[in-house]
Structures are given as structure tokens and as C-alpha cells.
Amino acid sequence: MGILNIFYPPYARCYCCGHPRLDGMGDHLCGPCREALKSIRKKEIFFYVESIDTVYAPYPYEDAARELIHCLKYGCVRDAAKVLGRDMAACLDEKEFDALVPVPLHEGRLIERGFNQAELLARAVGEQKNIPVLSALVRLKETGQQAKLEKERRMRNMEGAFQSSRKVR
């Protein structure tokens, strides 16, 4: 794949579908994928998560949105966080937050990936909304990948995995 990047660098391809983009740098999405995201974009998506007051999401986890998230998480394309962060920030128009706290990766996973996607997203949202990003959590144990687990196993997998690293209210 290295030689292909010389002729077709990642920034010249759409982050969602991988097709060449002809419309300049912009947000790294081709026209059809940009429109696909717009068509599923919602002002706010609410759903219940135990022990969490509210969850905000700019779009459901499907189609172009899923591809963009996979591009960031598994494709190691850090700039995808800028697109996602912009849309995440748009969900927070009237909300006030003291800070954003990204969930830390285990050291081994951080070395493997080279970056923490949660931190990149938090920084992108924080930059858009002028909200500070705090490193207020420390990971205590390595946990298995969440993506392949059902809800109950995900919850058990995370038990005791984090601790506050600073005093926050």
C-alpha cells in the first residue's frame, strides 16, 4: 500500500468510501459521502446508558458515519477526528460544559495505534466549542476490545478499569 500512497495519498481520497476526491482539501469527504452524512445528521440523538445522564451524537452509527468512525479508529487517519469533532460540537449548541475528559487507552493499545482517538475527538470538539480538555482519568488495567462484546460483557469488561487522576467535581 506504501507505493499507492505516493500516487494516491490518503488526503486525496474520501475518508468514507476511499474514492478519489476532486473537490479540493475541504473535510476529506467526497460529495456523495458528505451528503450522506448530512442526510442522516440529527441535531441530537438521545439514548439511555446506565449511570450516564445524557448521550449526544450527531448521527446514528450507520453507513457513511460508521465508515468515517472506522477510518479514525482502525484506519489510523487522524484527520477524520476533525470532521467527526465538528459534527459532534454542533450537537452541543446550547450546552455548557466545564471540561471534556477523553477515555485513555491502555499503553499497549496506544503504542499499537499511535494515538488515542477519544483524545483527538475531545480536542476537536473542545477547539470548536472553546471547552478545555482535561487528562483526568488513568487506565488501571488492560481490557479486551469492546467492539465484539454484548452490552453486559462490555460493562463487566470496564469494571475497575479507570480511576480519576485529579480532583474534579
Closest CA to 140 of 110, 113, 114, 165: 165
Residue-level pLDDT at 134:
92
Higher pLDDT, 129 or 52: 129
Residue-level pLDDT at 9:
62
d(CA 87, CA 71): 16
d(CA 19, CA 53): 39
Closest CA to 116 of 163, 81, 140: 81
Residue-level pLDDT at 155:
74
At residue 136, does pLDDT exceed 70? yes
Q: What number of residues does the chain have?
A: 169
CA distance readout (Å), 15 to 50, 76, 81, 119, 122: 32, 11, 11, 19, 19
Identity of the residue numbered 130 = N
- pLDDT tens sequence across 67-110: 888 888 877 778 888 888 988 888 886 778 889 999 888 888 88
